[in-house]
Structures are given as C-alpha cells and as structure tokens.
Structure 1
C-alpha cells in the first residue's frame, strides 16, 4: 500500500513539530538547570534527557492515534 502525498506531508509536519517541541523543552531544561547552579555538563545532560523524553512522547502519541484510528 502506497501512502498519498497528503499523508506523507502530514507525517513530515508532525515529525517536524515533535522535533521543535523537543528542542524547545531541551533548551528550557538546560537554561533552568544552569540558572539553578548546575555546571555546564550537568545542564547539558538534563537538556539531553528532556530532549529524548519529549521526542519519545511526541512521536509515540501520533503513532498511537494512527494505530487506533486505522
């Protein structure tokens, strides 16, 4: 079964939105950690963890919705 161009466009936009949301969460977590007095490496670790967790949730939810609706 081939996907229509509309489906592929929606998928690409969803992945782009998920990536941008994860990036925003990572920047916020890193800045908040740094302002809290954490060292730069510790702040980067917190930012990386926030990025990974947000990206995982932000990509799992659309996959779950697609799975339920089809």
Structure 2
C-alpha cells in the first residue's frame, strides 16, 4: 500500500477520533450546565461538525505543503 494512502487513512482516523472526543466533551459540559438531553445532542453534533471541518482544512493545508 502506498504511503500516501496510509497517511490519508491515518489522518482521517485521527480527525474523526478527535472530533468524537470534542463532541463528547461538549455534551458533558452542556449536561453539567443543566441542559436537556436533546440540547446536549445538538451541541455535541455542532461541536463534532465544526471540529471535523477544521481538521479537514488543516489536513488539506498540510497536504498542500508536501505536494
């Protein structure tokens, strides 16, 4: 398997894992603030999407440096 494919898969896995951790943290913080369960899920989804978008931009920028 070419190294570029491996690096792409690793960066994708890292981005999704980090986004999931941020989403869990956002949900826990919202719940600790007294928000309802639906609000916690909404805030977690927003945090997941925002983090995944940011990681995609960073990954594309870094990939542009190596090509």
Whether these two folds match at TM > 0.5 is yes
Deviation at 1:59, TM superposition (A): 1.3
Q: Give the structure with higher Rg (CA).
A: 1
Tell me the residue number matched to 1:49. 46
Equivalent in 57, 61, 65 of residue 62 of structure 2 = 65
Give the distance between the partners of 1:28 and 1:47, measured in 2 at CA: 8
Output aligned runs, 1:1-70, within 5 Å. Answer: 5-70=2-67
Aligned length: 67
TM superposition score normalised by structure 2: 0.93
Runs (4+) of structure 1 moved beyond 3 Å? none
Give the distance between the partners of 1:69 and 1:11, measured in 2 at CA: 13
- Structure 1 gaps of 5+ residues are none
User: Match of 1:38, SS?
Assistant: coil
